[in-house]
Amino acid sequence: MGEETDSPPPILGTWRRFYFVVVVNTLLVYGLLLLFSRFAR
Amino acid sequence: MHVLDIVVIGIYFALIAYIGYRTGRGNRGMEDFFLAKRAMPWYVIGLSVMATQASAITLIGTTGQAYVDGMRFIQLYFGLPLAMVILCVTLVPFFYRARVFTAYEFLEKRFDGKTRSLTSFLFLLGRGLSDAVVIYAPSVILAIVFGLDEKTLILTIGAGATVYTALGGMRAVMWVEAWQMMIIFLGILFCLGAVIAGLPEDISLVEALKIAGAAGRTETVDFTLDPSVTYTFWSGVVGGIFLMLSYFGCDQSQVQRYLTGSSLTESRLSLLFNAMLKIPMQFVILLTGALLFVFYQFEKPPPIFNPVSLERLRESDHRDELASLEREYDEVFAARKARASGFALALSTEAEPEARRRFLDADARFSEVRGRVVALAEENEGARFNDTNYVFPTFVLSQLPPGVVGLILVAIFAAAMSTVESELTSLSSATVIDFYRRYLRREASDSHYLAVSRAATVAWGAFATLCAMYMGRLGSAIEAVNRIGSNFYGPILGVFVLAVGTKRTNGHGAFVGVLAGVAAVQLASRLSDVSFLYYNLIGTAASVGVGYVVSLAFPSPERSV
């Protein structure tokens, strides 16, 4: 219990790739919100 | 209250009692009680972290905020995903490897006892009273709108959360919170569906969004550079990163959750889960509020949403003035309704600009008349009047069918109780680990510490519930302390930055750094009009700068972490 295993999620292979996906997803969310803001103006 | 609603609420309380009982057995020591045996999976931690943040006011107040001011509030969360990534790379592995119970315990391993005690004390000071606000705020609103007894609501939320937190410990709390978060998700989606279903048949969702947008309710990204504007893209990203780093990195209510991970991977995944879901969740809540604004273009809203204040106004010496204003209010509402319909019909035609202008004129007139009613209410109450938090509960009570009202109430209860539980576990862990075990009883049996931990939980729960009971009288004092408390996070983050980012900083420097950070935030809040979102950045910078420079005057530390 509580062991210090630090295996990255199997789907992406490394933590660095996982973080990259989170950051890209965040930028995408900003973009979608900007589009929403402009569309519904 | 309808019998169906009572049944739904009864099922909710039976469900959380059952989950709490099933998952909370077998606590033998503090690691079981405060850290759930360090055996929790990432999805439970992630949902628990989200439930901790989602207080009842998030649900009630955020929808009202979008109704009144639009969706710009979402920018507050823009820094959150990036802060989660930074924490996963930096602080989380340090906390995890240090095998600590509290975030502040780590500071003693790195610096000294006084730095740990100071930061833990600031946490207790900041959080101790906020629990009372978390219980009181939704209770008073639900009591007024639904005609329930305020004291009974306070006792239900406060005592209910205290009992199963004290009995079940962290494992029970986190499993209950995971379920509560799913109930909150369900409640949010039901609310959005209900508002969309409540729009007139001839108004499509796209037309509704255009109406909300024309009135400035769908502004979600604002690139204004002025630092005094509260919610902008820049304050959200820059200030938001520091706000979220402070909250998730230094607040025991958050740190304690990801310390329960069965591995470092589980702890990291729980934060990244939050990084992906938080903005979309806030978007849905705010969208509900923006569409509520459209709903009330076609359905006449009360002149003020607080029914008790309205009733008091009707019975006061101002009643004739109110009656005259209400006649005017009916006229401006009818005019705005007609122009909103006209605007929807004119969309994508040559007449759109003119129809938009006419609608905005009518909306401005409506707002002006409502503003006069609010001013009258303010005069009658003799205090500042704000009914933002009453918008959503009023809609729920007046428009939704029995059973669904119960479900939304359950979501509000779940949001309130999940935050209270988290506060209680974090307050009791900081009290017992950072003070009782540190200064009073360094060596004792597991059963002794378990008993003390339960007693601390009950004591904090009783304190919060009692403060909530008397909040009507103590309100402004508690709010003032609460506001000051929220200014401590930036300076505390600064100490953690010094702890993991520098080798030269020592305990004396870190201690003075925290105090300098607190002073810098106080100065910024009093002497400038900079948005509060930048306070954590200011506090962190002052704490890091002063802490490092003061450290140079003392010998280099011997690190044990």
- pLDDT digits 0-9 by tens, B147-204: 888 899 999 999 989 998 998 899 999 999 999 999 989 988 989 999 999 999 999 9
Going by pLDDT thresholds of 50, 70 and 90, the confidence category of residue B21 is confident
Instruction: Give the integer Cα–Cα distance in Å for B438 and B445.
Output: 15
Q: How large is the ipTM?
A: 0.90
**Which among B302, B398, B428, B404 has a CA at the least distance from the CA of B35?**
B428
State the average pLDDT for chain B: 90
Position A1 scores a pLDDT of 43
- pLDDT digits 0-9 by tens, B1-13: 789 999 999 999 8
* Partner-chain contact A41 B265, CB within 8 Å: no
Going by pLDDT thresholds of 50, 70 and 90, the confidence category of residue B274 is very high
Residue B485 confidence (pLDDT) above 70: no
Cross-strand pairs, B263: A3
**Both B89 and B220 in a single domain?**
yes
**Both B465 and B337 in a single domain?**
no
Q: Within 10 A of B323 (CB to CB), how many other CB atoms are there?
A: 10
Residue range of the domain that includes B526? 487-561
* Domain termination site, one of B486, B501, B530: B486
* Partner-chain contact A34 B97, CB within 8 Å: no
Q: How would you write B485-540 as a 3-class SS string?
A: HCCCHHHHHHHHHHHHHCCCCCHHHHHHHHHHHHHHHHHHHHHCCCCHHHHHHHHH
Going by pLDDT thresholds of 50, 70 and 90, the confidence category of residue B278 is very high
Position B479 scores a pLDDT of 57
Residue B392 within a domain = no
**Both B118 and B184 in a single domain?**
yes
> Mutate which of A19, A23, A24, A34 to test chain B, going by most B C-beta atoms within 10 A?
A19
Position B103 scores a pLDDT of 93
- Chain A stretch 3-32, residues whose beta carbon is closer than 8 A to a beta carbon of chain B: 3-9, 15, 18-19, 22-23, 25-26, 29-30
- pLDDT digits 0-9 by tens, B336-362: 999 999 999 999 899 999 999 999 999
* Lowest-confidence region among B7-16, B400-409, B476-485: B476-485
**Both B38 and B102 in a single domain?**
yes
Residue B391 within a domain = no
**Both B52 and B153 in a single domain?**
yes
Residue B495 within a domain = yes
Residue B483 confidence (pLDDT) above 90: no
**Both B141 and B287 in a single domain?**
yes
Position B489 scores a pLDDT of 87
Going by pLDDT thresholds of 50, 70 and 90, the confidence category of residue B113 is very high
H/E stretch holding B30: helix B30-35
- pLDDT digits 0-9 by tens, B23-60: 888 888 888 999 999 999 999 999 999 998 888 888 88
**Both B453 and B550 in a single domain?**
no
List the single residue in B37, B220, B275 with the smallest CB-CB distance to A22. Answer: B275
Residue A11 confidence (pLDDT) above 60: yes
Position A33 scores a pLDDT of 95
* Domain termination site, one of B352, B386, B420: B386
Position B559 scores a pLDDT of 55
8 Å CB contact between B199 and B344: no
Collect all residues from B whose CB is shorter than 8 A from any CB in A: 35, 37-39, 74, 78, 81-82, 84-85, 88-89, 93, 96-97, 99, 209-210, 212-214, 218-221, 233, 261-265, 268-269, 272, 275-276, 279-280, 283
> Mutate which of B94, B223, B263 to test chain A, going by most A C-beta atoms within 10 A?
B263
**Both B289 and B317 in a single domain?**
no
CATH number at residue B183: 1.20.1730.10
Residue B383 confidence (pLDDT) above 80: no
* Domain termination site, one of B486, B511, B535: B486
Classify burial at B241, counting beta carbons within 10 Å of its beta carbon; exposed 0-12, middle 13-18, buried 19 or more. Answer: buried
Return the residue matching tokens 């099933």.
B22
Instruction: Give the integer Cα–Cα distance in Å for B9 and B113.
Output: 46
Higher pLDDT, B528 or B268: B268
**Both B140 and B195 in a single domain?**
yes
Residue B301 within a domain = no
* CA distance readout (Å), A16 to A9, A12, A30, B66, B88: 11, 9, 21, 36, 11
**Both B447 and B502 in a single domain?**
no
Position B35 scores a pLDDT of 93
* Partner-chain contact B39 A22, CB within 8 Å: no
**Both B326 and B256 in a single domain?**
no
Look at chain B and report how many structural domains it folds into. 3
8 Å CB contact between B373 and B325: yes
**Both B516 and B551 in a single domain?**
yes
Residue B458 confidence (pLDDT) above 50: yes
Residues B314-325 have a mean pLDDT of: 91
Going by pLDDT thresholds of 50, 70 and 90, the confidence category of residue B142 is confident
8 Å CB contact between B136 and B155: no
Going by pLDDT thresholds of 50, 70 and 90, the confidence category of residue B119 is very high
Residue B302 within a domain = no
